[in-house]
Amino acid sequence: MFVPPQYRPRGRSWTLETVRSNPLAMLVTRGERALPWITHLPVITHPERPPAELPGATLLGHMNAANPHWAAVASGGPGTLVFTGPHGYVSPTVYELPVAAPTWDFVAVHVHGTLRPLDTPEDARRVVRWTVEAYEGTHGTGWDPEGSLDYFDKILPGVRAFEFHVESVDGMYKLSQEQEPETRRRVVRSFAASGRGAHAELSALIDRFGDPGPGAPATGCPAAREAGDGAR
């Protein structure tokens, strides 16, 4: 993913936070006839190996065994997980400038690594249980799955699980950094007042990202692809 310097994350914890807050990912692997396999699925960080940052972390996911994509996952090999954070359209009227152009502010994280299938029913059961626990804790209402365990066992033969070992990460945080501080504050206020979807979250993120400090270059934060092998 091409990430201009001003749109790179402030630090490595930002991408980990984005993944945890927006856990529905697109898993992309090599496909047939030059077309990739792409499946939307939930992903969590390994609860027994909690990471401080994404590079080197182990992520866990599961999918329908009937999905033909599983054959590619089951063979292991390279893959990419694409996570999308809050996003929204910015109208030029928000800037209150005589000349302006519209844009779209957004957050995206691409995680590159290696897939390893988890082969046993107990592996799948464990990943599903950990996934439920993670989502009920951060996105749910405290539902207790105890009464549904028999049902889980009935549908488990149709579920396959995998590990994803993270090798590198690209994060793009396009949050109106190219604008002057007062113009960015107008964008923050506009998203906060819109009442649409994730605009409130986007507003808070733009505000939290902040403005470059005194003497900082116009391109903003320092270059920091989260890997050891150079820019993708």
CB 226 within 8 A of CB 168: yes
Can you give the residue ranges of every domain in the chain? Answer: 5-87+103-179
Residue 220 CB neighbours (<10 A): 20
Q: Is the pLDDT of residue 222 over 60?
A: no
What integer pLDDT is reported at residue 180 of this predicted model? 93
Q: What is the pLDDT of residue 232?
A: 39
Q: Within 13 Å, how many C-alpha atoms sit on residue 53's CB side?
A: 16
Single-letter amino acid code for the residue at 104: W
Instruction: Please enumerate, as own/partner, the contacts of 177-184 that have beta carbons within 8 Å and a separation of 24 or more.
Output: 177/6, 177/7, 177/209, 177/212, 177/220, 178/6, 178/218, 179/95, 181/211, 183/95, 183/96, 183/97, 184/211
Residue 151 has pLDDT above 50, yes or no: yes
Q: Residue 211: which pLDDT band, with cuts at 50, 70 and 90? A: low
Q: What is the CATH number of domain 5-87+103-179?
A: 2.30.110.10
pLDDT (average), residues 24-48: 94
Got the DSSP string for the chain?
A: ----GGGS-SSHHHHHHHHHHS-EEEEEE--STTPPEEEEEEEEE-TTS--SSSTT-EEEEEEETT-THHHHHHT-EEEEEEEEEEEEEE-HHHHT-SS---EEEEEEEEEEEEEEEE-SHHHHHHHHHHHHHHHHHHTS----GGGGHHHHHHHGGGEEEEEEEEEEEEEEEESSTTS-HHHHHHHHHHHHHH--TTHHHHHHHHHHH-PPPTT--TT-SPP--BSSS---
Q: Quote the mean pLDDT of the chain.
A: 89
Distances, alpha carbon 230 to alpha carbons 11, 162, 170, 192, in Å: 16, 27, 11, 36
pLDDT band at 146 (very low <50, low <70, confident <90, very high): confident
The answer to whether residue 171 scores a pLDDT higher than 70 is yes
pLDDT per residue over 41-88, tens digit each?
Answer: 999 999 999 999 999 999 999 999 999 999 999 999 999 999 999 999
Share of the chain above pLDDT 70, in %: 91
| Buried b or exposed e, range 65-78, using 16+ CB within 10 angstroms | eeeebbebbeeeee
Query: Does pLDDT of 119 surpass 90?
Result: no
- Report residue 26: phi and psi, to 5°: -100, 120
pTM: 0.88
Find the mean pLDDT for residues 139-153: 87
- Stretch 153-166: mean pLDDT, rounded? 95
pLDDT at 195: 85
pLDDT band at 145; cut points 50, 70, 90: confident
